A = this chain, B = another copy of it.
Amino acid sequence: MNKVVDMDKSAVNPAIMGNPEKKIGQQTLIFPSRPVIASTATIAGPKEGEGKLGNRIDRLLEDNLDGQSSWEKTESSMLEWALREAAGKAGGLSTVEVILAGDLLNQLMATHFGIRNLGLPFLGLYGACSTFSMGLLLAGIIVDGGFANKVAIGVSSHHNTAERQYRFPTELGVQRPPVAQWTVTGAGAVVLAKTGEGPAITCATIGKIIDMGETDPNAMGPAMAPAAADTIAQHLLDTGRDPKYYDLIATGDLGTVGKTLLIAFLKDKGVDISHNYEDCGCMIYHKEQDVHAGASGCACSALVFCAEFYRLMRAKAMKRLLLVATGSLHSPTSYQQKETIPCIAHAISIEI
């Protein structure tokens, strides 16, 4: 049998009167059939192409429009391309039974217009930049539950669509504060399959909304760090694992500021992740690219996973990964109404 079976089932919330078969502890689901990430696909903009992962991305755009008449259309076409490419690598689009996808735009605009030509059953997710791990988690439930043999997950973001929606008209050229992160222009997609070879998802911890009262929508890393700390600590408690169980614990897009905070927050909880922790937001751009605190966006964790971690895992250079994509759940309206920023993080354990 597989490793997740011997995890600690004693941490059950008595209020729940006993966990169901595929849950351990308070918030962690297990996937005994070990659904496999059969393929990945990545596409990104020119700035990402000049970054650290540039030569590992499947397709790079020459400019941020890629021949489309709006940035939104470009984002949609990137998502569609990534989903078609990932499906193509895993037996073809016609073998995919459900698509789970999401993005940062109002009413998932990029997703809906990217999906509509694919002619496949579709469920739309909104978890802001946590959407990639949320999608993997739900796909794991669908495949391990016996409801599909193949599920595709896709997410996208685009610097220009996000900037003008969340902050200021791009033409204004407003100066960005040092704590700000740069929304990744790109899309990533994976196919999760019941059978096959490759890294498998073995368990996942569903996050809770954590709002510590941060109000600056430029400082999303600090806002999201407490949610990441909560989910990681809960994951370790539920599974009885030490942080060292993982070759790498990777958050989605905390950036340089949030990354430092997360290490400190977890140290306060008695958890030391300082030796095997990295943030995907610090793995996209070079320091010289002047993005301030790092990368962000739904595509941030997706690109790093699909273009880098997945490759390392297939080569057995990395065997156990805890991917914790983080989402800042504010909206332009909530910011204008002077609300604080609710955040969430979902963790997914990927092993080979």
Partner of A337, one of B70, B134, B142: B70
Which A residues between 322 and 344 are near B, CB-CB below 8 angstroms?
329-334, 337, 339, 342, 344
Whether A331 and B107, one on each chain, are in contact in the complex, defined by CB atoms closer than 8 angstroms, is yes
Whether A20 and B146, one on each chain, are in contact in the complex, defined by CB atoms closer than 8 angstroms, is yes
Interface: A112 (CB within 8 A): yes
Given contacts A15-B94, A196-B10, contact A72 B334 (CB under 8 A): yes
Whether A125 and B128, one on each chain, are in contact in the complex, defined by CB atoms closer than 8 angstroms, is no
Given contacts A9-B195, A126-B125, A145-B141, contact A97 B16 (CB under 8 A): yes
Residues of B within 8 A of A334 (CB): 72, 107, 109, 112-113
Quickly give the copy total for this chain: 2
Interface: A158 (CB within 8 A): no
Bound CA–CA A138/B104 (angstroms): 21
Bound CA–CA A206/B15 (angstroms): 31
Closest Cβ of chain B to A331, distance in Å, is: 4
Given contacts A13-B91, A17-B95, A124-B127, contact A209 B112 (CB under 8 A): yes
Which A residues between 87 and 126 are near B, CB-CB below 8 angstroms?
91-92, 94-95, 97-98, 102, 104-109, 112-113, 115-116, 118-126
Bound CA–CA A10/B35 (angstroms): 12
Bound CA–CA A330/B134 (angstroms): 23
Bound CA–CA A22/B137 (angstroms): 19
- Among the 9-residue stretches A25-33, A59-67, A167-175, the one with 4 or more Cβ atoms under 8 Å from chain B is A25-33
